[in-house]
């Protein structure tokens, strides 16, 4: 055996070559994350509620286990008592829930051929779907007809049509999280830290799609206020939800400095919004959001199959109409919770990862003051 392998010269090359290769790869990689605005890195004690349920998996049960493939958003249709949810295999599914979770019935309703995310009910019995790949869809109530309403604005195509809410005036308000990255690349949209999201409206009487706000950071969940004066929408990477006043065309902060990354937001018809957070701010996320080079390294690793979206301690934050936090339902063993909908005494949660809808009786397992 040659002594070369033990020589100082070999050790020199064995260390220096991988370092040089790494530097070259880093430099050649064109992914160029940005610094986030200072307020996006801040935390606010005003976002911390007085009440907590820190173990919301305890007592929770699971609906449609194995029959729902990543049910991201969920919408409750009170007339039929059915829950509609969009799955990663393109199916919009309908769930008839039962007191005993295992007896709930899941029906494959309509397959969009895309990735249905946000779901809302139109004023004429139709179901409106924000499909990440397809755009904004109108599915007739009988499920027989699917029509594309819009997939671009100002000549720029949507690439992650994300969430939708319907005004009493019939106008559809929705978000496009990114016009640069498509849904399967959403991790890069988050890691890049640049605002490619838009808040939009579609008026079915005129067929016009309008850009209400641009330069948003991964514009995600959206909900119409009960008095119809404004929308509340979430920007995930900067942990903020804002109000958009429709007639004044004015923006105001609703809640910011959240302890997690906000996804869908839902109004419960009873004075509260529910903001789902798929992950809390872990120490790694905190560092990564501060330093763009860490996000670049993460993105490079992601190109070789590393999943950068490590999420933990997911939950749902209940806030009042002014954005004042009331209660947080979460669990350190939970992740990827993307929607929270209150139906009766239960909180129903959708997910970007799991193959079920989670349900918790919040009368039986309420959030409480910490001792
Ligand atoms: C529901 O089904 C799951 C999985 O099949 C099982 O582990 C659980 O015990 C069932 N629960 C009830 C209440 O039957
Ligand atoms: C959706 O399509 C139905 C016909 O299937 C129509 O009656 C309804 O007005 C449409 N809704 C929107 C918002 O375009």
Please count the structural domains in the chain.
1
List of the chain residues with pLDDT < 50: none
Ligand 2 probe mutation, 121, 122, 135, 150, most atoms within 8 A of CB: 122
Which pLDDT score, from 0 to 100, does residue 5 have? 66
Which pLDDT score, from 0 to 100, does residue 164 have? 98
Q: How many residues does the chain have?
A: 371
122 alpha carbon – ligand 2 mean position (Å):
8
Which pLDDT score, from 0 to 100, does residue 20 have? 76
108 alpha carbon – ligand 1 mean position (Å):
22
Which pLDDT score, from 0 to 100, does residue 142 have? 97
Q: Is residue 335 part of a domain?
A: yes
Q: Is 138 a pocket residue for ligand 2 (Cβ < 6 Å)?
A: yes
Q: Is residue 7 part of a domain?
A: no
Which pLDDT score, from 0 to 100, does residue 1 have? 53
Q: What is the CATH number of the domain that holds 325?
A: 2.120.10.30
Contacts of 202 (CB under 8 A, 6+ apart): 136, 149, 150, 171, 172, 174, 208, 209, 210
* Pick from 107, 161, 109, 159: nearest CA to 137: 161
Q: Is residue 23 part of a domain?
A: no
Which pLDDT score, from 0 to 100, does residue 4 have? 64
Structural element, H or E, at residue 14: helix 8-28
For residue 335, give its domain range: 33-361
Which pLDDT score, from 0 to 100, does residue 22 have? 76
* Pick from 353, 257, 364, 256: nearest CA to 314: 353
Contacts of 6 (CB under 8 A, 6+ apart): none
Spatial separation of the C-alpha atoms in residues 219 and 85, rounded to whole Å: 20
Q: Is 124 a pocket residue for ligand 2 (Cβ < 6 Å)?
A: yes
331 alpha carbon – ligand 2 mean position (Å):
40
Q: Is 102 a pocket residue for ligand 1 (Cβ < 6 Å)?
A: yes
- What are the backbone angles phi and psi of residue 230, rounded to the nearest 5°? -150, 170
Ligand nearest to the CA of 164: 2
Is 351 exposed, middle or buried (CB count within 10 Å of its CB: 0-12, 13-18, 19+)?
buried
Spatial separation of the C-alpha atoms in residues 195 and 132, rounded to whole Å: 17
Spatial separation of the C-alpha atoms in residues 57 and 334, rounded to whole Å: 7
Which pLDDT score, from 0 to 100, does residue 289 have? 93
Spatial separation of the C-alpha atoms in residues 293 and 302, rounded to whole Å: 14
Indicate which residue's Cα is closest to atom 3 of ligand 2: 140
Q: Is residue 366 part of a domain?
A: no
DSSP assignment string, 84-148? EEE-TTSEEEEEE--SSGGG-EEEEEEE-SS-EEEEEE-TTS-EEEEETTTEEEEE-TTS--EEE
67 alpha carbon – ligand 2 mean position (Å):
29
Spatial separation of the C-alpha atoms in residues 193 and 160, rounded to whole Å: 16
Indicate which residue's Cα is closest to atom 8 of ligand 2: 124
Q: Is residue 26 part of a domain?
A: no
Ligand nearest to the CA of 61: 1
Spatial separation of the C-alpha atoms in residues 265 and 195, rounded to whole Å: 20
Q: Is residue 275 part of a domain?
A: yes
Q: Is residue 10 part of a domain?
A: no
Structural element, H or E, at residue 76: strand 74-77
Nearest atom in ligand 2 to 122's CA: 13
- Tell how strand 146-150 and strand 152-153 pair up: unpaired
- 46-73: per-residue pLDDT in tens? 999 999 999 999 999 999 999 999 999 9
Which pLDDT score, from 0 to 100, does residue 179 have? 98
Nearest atom in ligand 2 to 145's CA: 5
Q: Is residue 167 part of a domain?
A: yes
């Amino acid at each position: 055996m040659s002594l070369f392998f033990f020589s100082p010269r070999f050790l020199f090359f064995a260390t220096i070559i991988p370092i040089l290769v790494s530097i070259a790869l880093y430099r050649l990689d064109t992914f160029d994350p940005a610094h986030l605005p200072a307020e996006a890195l801040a935390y606010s004690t005003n976002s911390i509620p007085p009440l907590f349920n820190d173990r919301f998996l305890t007592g929770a049960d699971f609906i449609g286990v194995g029959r729902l493939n990543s049910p991201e958003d969920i919408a409750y249709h009170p007339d039929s008592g059915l829950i509609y949810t969009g799955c990663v295999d393109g199916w919009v599914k309908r769930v008839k829930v039962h007191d005993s979770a295992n007896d709930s019935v899941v029906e494959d309703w309509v397959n969009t051929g895309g990735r249905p995310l946000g779901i809302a009910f139109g004023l004429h019995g139709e179901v409106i779907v924000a499909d990440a790949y397809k755009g904004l869809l109108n599915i007739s109530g009988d499920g027989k007809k699917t029509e594309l309403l819009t997939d671009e604005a100002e000549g720029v195509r949507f690439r992650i049509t994300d969430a939708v809410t319907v005004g009493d005036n019939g106008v559809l308000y929705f978000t496009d999280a990114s016009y640069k990255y498509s849904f399967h690349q959403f991790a890069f949209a988050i890691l890049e830290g640049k605002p490619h999201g838009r808040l939009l409206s579609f008026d079915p009487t005129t067929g016009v799609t309008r850009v209400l706000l641009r330069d948003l950071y991964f514009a995600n969940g959206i909900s119409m206020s009960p008095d119809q004066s404004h929308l509340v929408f979430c920007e995930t990477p900067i942990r903020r939800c804002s109000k958009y006043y429709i007639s004044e065309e004015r923006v105001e902060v609703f809640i910011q400095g959240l302890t997690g990354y906000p996804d869908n937001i839902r109004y419960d018809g009873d004075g509260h919004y529910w903001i789902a957070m798929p992950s809390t701010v872990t120490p790694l996320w905190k560092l990564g959001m501060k330093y763009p080079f860490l996000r670049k390294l993460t993105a490079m690793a992601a190109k070789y199959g590393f999943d950068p979206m490590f999420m933990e301690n997911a939950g749902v934050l209940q806030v009042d109409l002014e954005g004042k936090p009331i209660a947080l339902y979460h669990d350190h063993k939970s992740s990827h919770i993307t929607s929270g909908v209150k139906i009766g005494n239960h909180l129903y949660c959708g997910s970007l990862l799991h193959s079920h809808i989670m349900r918790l009786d919040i009368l039986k397992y309420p959030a409480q003051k910490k001792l």
